[in-house]
Amino acid sequence: MMDMTGRNGLDFAEGSAERFDFDRTRFDRTHASIADRAFLEERINAASSALLSYQREDGHWCFEFEADATIPAEYVLLVHYLGEEPNLEREAKIANYLRRIQGEHGGWPLFHKGAFDMSASVKAYFALKMIGDDINAPHMVRAREAILSRGGAEMANVFTRILLALFGVVTWRAVPVMPVEIMHLPRWFPFHMSKVSYWARTVMVPLFVLGAKKPVAKNPRGISVDELFHADPKNVGPRPRAEGQSRSWYTFFAAVDACLRVVDPMLPKRSRKSAIDKAVAFVKERLNGEDGLGAIFPAMANSVMMYEALGVPESDPDRAIARYSIEKLLFETENEIYCQPCVSPVWDTGLASHALMETGGEAEREAAERGLAWLKPLQVLDVKGDWADQKPDVRPGGWAFQYANPHYPDVDDTAVVAMALDRAANLPDSRNDNGESIARAKEWVSGLQSRNGGWGAFDADNTYYYLNNIPFSDHGALLDPPTVDVSARCVSMLAQLGEKPETNPVMKRGIDYILSEQEKDGSWFGRWGSNYIYGTWSALCALNASGVAHDSAAMRRAVAWLVSIQNEDGGWGEDGSSYKLDYKGYEKSPSTPSQTSWALLGLMAAGEVDNPAVKRGIAWLVANQDEAGTWKEDRHNAPGFPRVFYLIYHGYSKYFPLWALARYRNLTSGNRAPVMHGM
């Protein structure tokens, strides 16, 4: 809980980050207090001590990683799909979680205080009914009315329709045809698994098998949700074109889908069996032990259902470990449980290490070095993952996001870890021998640059945009194209490692890509963090590290934009609605610790440490720090997939504010040197 008196005897109410109104006099007093070096050092020490307390015995950090109602709801339904004996205490705690996050509109949102979402609401209602909630209970009546008043479950997305088909609520006519024979298609064909993102690949392949077998859930309690439909759910047909899909492309692919519905039952049995065998082999190769297929919940759950549909017994080692991997994602508190979409140890450890090295101090340095020692052996040096389909001549050298995911390292994590290793190697009296790890990371990241100069997260040149118009892709997130935030991290890494755009063409193309993607208002889009604040922070760090002048037009426009969107309370905020397709510019949102920290780090990278906006932002962080040295952050701070799936990185409020405060202290002490690191 937040201290109701603030950090300096100031009466800041709990939850002030959610309000725009505040006491100007009290704010000004806190603002003035940051000039007191001892006071600022005290706040930094408190934040540092808190972060150190979260370090695990072996040196790494892994904070809880929360999404929305869909993942815990799907976990509940998976148990009943498989006909397992449910853990009643666990179900009760999941029900507590689902009821707590129900929105005021009666349904469930995709992010904190967000708008009603049909698919999340249908899944949450189904899960609560499966757990045993009375459909006449007030919260269930509110949910049902909210769903029906917005068109009913007929309006749910493709993934929800697949779940409903597996439970026999709707027929497979409501689901796009994705024949398992896709596994036989050659690489030159317009649709091939190498042409979609890693997450789509690992989710879709076991789904192909489910679509071929069309199994029905065991569902021992016999629960259905027909009451969420306006008419007989068995009559539900294909979903209409989704927002953002091209009318012409969708019409074409819908015609292909109609043809496949006719052809699918007539496809040769031998071809189907060999395609299923290919799908199973794909899954087995990437099963990833107890970390699961793709190390993401949807793929992991689909792999278990695939084995069930194929009649593989529960005792089979592949099925057993696939099922166990899902249990590891559960996060439990005293009264609640939710299922995480995945875990984030490499990302958390890399970023926490950066924050601690920025902070300085022997304890911080020792903790960062322990974290980096834990990270080094996780570098993937001997597996050519799916990324090699596009870049077969590049040597492996990346880190994955999770504990293990060797087929799918990502360049964002790799760049962050490489910069942290480099920074540790350059500390005074350092005995860290990180040279080989850094060199392999640099080689791999450079090799995965796309043709337009940018970087995607997991693959190069994953830009087959027409595929986002197939009926299956109503979520619009089938691809992994280059994005500014990931590209900026790669450029930052190259710059920190001493590369120059004049002599390194990879770096030069990366800078040109970043500059070409700047929005008219001066911001940059953030694909993997919310949103334009995150993208702008990332870009400013890269441009500064690359030697772009602080008075350049790009830098000035970005600074002006960040200053212009600062909230009256001194912080910054931006929510998931900024990803809407008809985005017309920044819309005011409550201040959050993460976004305030990103804005501050971006402004300081642009040479604005003396800007009054920076001082006000630092004051906001100080005023909203709790007695434990951390910050409260309920709002989702990243998209999994824009407009479809959002995340709360609970570690962000532990290390980014510390990073911002420590950098401010460092830059306002001594000779005001510019930011010297890539981040």
Cβ–Cβ < 8 Å for 467, 479: yes
Crossing angle of helices 593-605 and 553-564, in 10° steps, is 150
Max alpha carbon distance in the chain (Å)?
78
What is the DSSP-derived secondary structure letter of residue 239?
P
Cβ–Cβ < 8 Å for 130, 77: yes
412 is an active site residue: yes
Q: Which two tokens stand for residue 102?
A: 């129900």
Q: Which two tokens stand for residue 586?
A: 């920044």
Separation between Cα atoms, residue 69 and residue 89, nearest integer Å: 18
What is the DSSP-derived secondary structure letter of residue 241?
P
What are the b/e assignments for 365-403, b being 16+ CB within 10 Å?
Answer: bebbbbbbebbeebbbeeeebbbbbbbeebebbbbbbbb
Crossing angle of helices 532-545 and 593-605, in 10° steps, is 30
Residue 166's nearest CA partner among 222, 228, 227, 210 is 210
Separation between Cα atoms, residue 237 and residue 161, nearest integer Å: 10
- On the 0-12 / 13-18 / 19+ scale of CB atoms within 10 A, 315 is exposed
- Element (DSSP H or E) covering residue 117: strand 116-117
Cβ–Cβ < 8 Å for 223, 140: no
Cβ–Cβ < 8 Å for 459, 479: no
Q: Which two tokens stand for residue 508?
A: 């030069």
Strand partners, 124: none
3-state secondary structure of 640: strand
Separation between Cα atoms, residue 567 and residue 571, nearest integer Å: 5
Separation between Cα atoms, residue 164 and residue 216, nearest integer Å: 10
Query: Which among 68, 257, 412, 480 is annotated as catalytic?
Result: 412
Separation between Cα atoms, residue 625 and residue 415, nearest integer Å: 30
Separation between Cα atoms, residue 190 and residue 464, nearest integer Å: 9
Separation between Cα atoms, residue 294 and residue 403, nearest integer Å: 11
Crossing angle of helices 652-667 and 593-605, in 10° steps, is 30
Separation between Cα atoms, residue 255 and residue 280, nearest integer Å: 29
Separation between Cα atoms, residue 438 and residue 441, nearest integer Å: 5
Cβ–Cβ < 8 Å for 384, 396: yes
- Residue 382 φ/ψ, nearest 5 degrees: -125, 5
- On the 0-12 / 13-18 / 19+ scale of CB atoms within 10 A, 126 is buried
Residue 91's nearest CA partner among 104, 108, 72, 107 is 72
- On the 0-12 / 13-18 / 19+ scale of CB atoms within 10 A, 197 is buried
Separation between Cα atoms, residue 247 and residue 242, nearest integer Å: 9
Cβ–Cβ < 8 Å for 396, 341: no
Active site residues: 412
